Amino acid sequence: MARKYNWKTGCDVEATLSVIGGRWKPILVCRLLGGPKRFGALCRLAPNATERMITLQLRELEADGIITRHVFTEVPPRVEYAITDLGRSLEHIIEAMQIWGSAFKARRAEEQPERTHSEAASV
């Protein structure tokens, strides 16, 4: 898939985000790090994403060499997605995102009662 990114002069962070940027790509990569998954399983693991969005994100990840798509020649047809070696190299980035997200959620959960208490006091 064509990207609007200058591979010669663009920022390295921008290059990374052009590959794994988007709401669902990191989630799909994270799920595939655990092993190959069928399309339906990926949809169940990302219930807030539409099937179309998951399809588009999977196509982009495949085009960038992060995942592979294997079509089994059987009836009914079966498709399985797996992480590539290049995709596996993202494991540390995804893990860091998980750790940061967990800490952020905990911090927000701690702040939440304070907001509720201060909002109640102002009423």
Each residue's pLDDT tens digit, 53-82: 999 999 999 999 999 999 998 888 889 999
User: Please, what is the average pLDDT of the chain?
Assistant: 87
Report the percent of the chain where pLDDT is more than 90.
Answer: 62
Looking at the predicted structure, is the pLDDT value of residue 1 above 60?
A: no
- pLDDT tier, 91 (very low <50, low <70, confident <90, very high otherwise): very high
- pLDDT tier, 101 (very low <50, low <70, confident <90, very high otherwise): very high
At 121 the pLDDT is 54
Residue 102 vs residues 46, 95, 96, 113: alpha-carbon distances, Å: 18, 11, 10, 18
- Cβ within 8 Å of residue 93, ≥6 positions away: 16, 20
The interaxial angle of helices 91-122 and 25-33, nearest 10 deg, is: 120
| 33-61 tens-digit pLDDT | 999 999 999 999 999 999 999 999 999 99
In 3-state terms, what secondary structure has residue 83? strand
> What CATH number belongs to 12-122?
1.10.10.10
Q: State how far the Cα of 64 lies from the Cα of 70, in Å rounded to an integer.
A: 16
Task: Note whether 94 and 29 are within 8 A (CB).
Answer: yes
